[in-house]
Structure 1
Amino acid sequence: MDDPVSSWVFPGAEYRRVRHSGLMGAFTDATLAEGSGGYVDLLEDDSAVALWMEVPDAPHADDEDGPAQVREAVDPDNARIEEIARLLDEAHPQGRAHTYLWMIGVAPERQGEGLGTALMTPVLDRCDRAGRPAYLEASSARSRALYERLGFTVMNRPLQLPDGPTMWPMWREPQGG
């Protein structure tokens, strides 16, 4: 909830506290929807979670209404929900199958303990064995540094949210021999 992008989408601590969980619920529902190719990794003590999607090589069908539907379901008066969904969709690479880390979160009191790395490493190992690249958007300089340590590189140019923080689309080619 304290992520710079979450703070931009839901300005104000109380507003974010009330509305943020609705967006996370929508992300989880989309991840687990039939045919999505998505899955959730959760640490045994519920201190960290990652939402992953298996993206096919075919270009995805444009869902013009998807961002608007998420906004309507989560917070109809918040245009930033729809805006960020559209910006991230435009930045997302197409034409090559990959594993997408849609969202990762670690309980604030547990951050810095390596839990994000613990969630990501098995998936990245599977990607390496399968020869499959991975993609994500870093939402802070701190997360960008973590992802760089895990072999991700910044693609093209950063994504600057209007009057908000920077995000970094990142790609990781399969590693190893």
Structure 2
Amino acid sequence: MGVRVRRAQESDRDLVVRLLDESFRDDPVSNWVFPGEEHRLARHAGLMGVFTDVTLAEGYIDLAEDGSAVALWMDMPDAPHDGAGGEGHEGHGGEDDQDDVPAQVRAAVDPDNERVEQIARWTTEIHPEGRAHVYLWMIGVAPGRQGEGLGTALMAPVLERCDREGLPAYLEASNPRSRALYERLGFVFTGTALDLPDGPSMWPMWREPQAG
């Protein structure tokens, strides 16, 4: 049976945040950003809320109609960009606030946790510039539904658009399983991983548009 996908609206915010929180709470990068289960339970959803709000304002969110999977996307221009996000996923601000946004995210989510700010800066630094592309900021599948092909189905419409319009796509894989999925969809590791101090690695991946 096919997966029905729709564009999320503001009214879907709580659903999106909850789904991202559940999907990423045990992810290696989330564990690094929020060490300790109690700490993660208290703060992780707040960071997912920031990501959701930025994407609703500046990008677009695709949602499986049954609430089982969600993908956060940004269309990136061909001009150099500024940004801040976290956990390998970037938000975007103006030139004047480039240096402040990661600190603002940290202040809003977890003021005593420097890792929230650090990872925002590091993922911004490795994000490719100079060529328009589509950025998959995050994709989450409900824990009980993983392995059913929902992630692939959710990405398909945007990747088909990339192929039609000649647009590359970019993402950062946060675990080996997701990296393998993206490779099957045509993404290629750029060659330089982001190795978090005393933590996991993240793999920047690029996909050229594919013909036919």
**Runs of at least 5 residues in structure 2 that lack an aligned partner in the other structure:** 1-24, 83-94
What is the aligned partner in structure 1 of residue 71 from structure 2?
50
| Over 6 Å off, 4+ runs | none
What is the aligned partner in structure 1 of residue 159 from structure 2?
124
What is the aligned partner in structure 2 of residue 3 from structure 1?
27
Does residue 1:16 correspond to 2:40, yes or no? yes
Q: CA deviation at 1:95?
A: 0.2
Where in structure 2 are the equivalents of 1:103-114 lying within 5 Å?
Answer: 103-114=138-149
Measure, in 1, the Cα distance between the counterparts of 2:37 and 2:64: 26
Identity of aligned residues (%): 74
Stretch of structure 1 that moved more, 116-125 or 54-63: 54-63
Q: Secondary structure in 2 aligned to 1:128?
A: helix
Measure, in 1, the Cα distance between the counterparts of 2:146 and 2:182: 15
Q: CA deviation at 1:14?
A: 2.0
Does residue 1:88 correspond to 2:97, yes or no? no
Q: Secondary structure in 2 aligned to 1:93?
A: coil
Measure, in 2, the Cα distance between the counterparts of 1:107 and 1:168: 22
Scaled by the length of structure 2, the TM-score of the pair is 0.80
AA aligned to 1:171 is W
Scaled by the length of structure 1, the TM-score of the pair is 0.96
Which of 35, 52, 77 lines up with 1:28 in the alignment?
Answer: 52
**Runs of at least 5 residues in structure 1 that lack an aligned partner in the other structure:** none
Measure, in 2, the Cα distance between the counterparts of 1:80 and 1:58: 28
Measure, in 2, the Cα distance between the counterparts of 1:116 and 1:17: 24
AA aligned to 1:79 is E
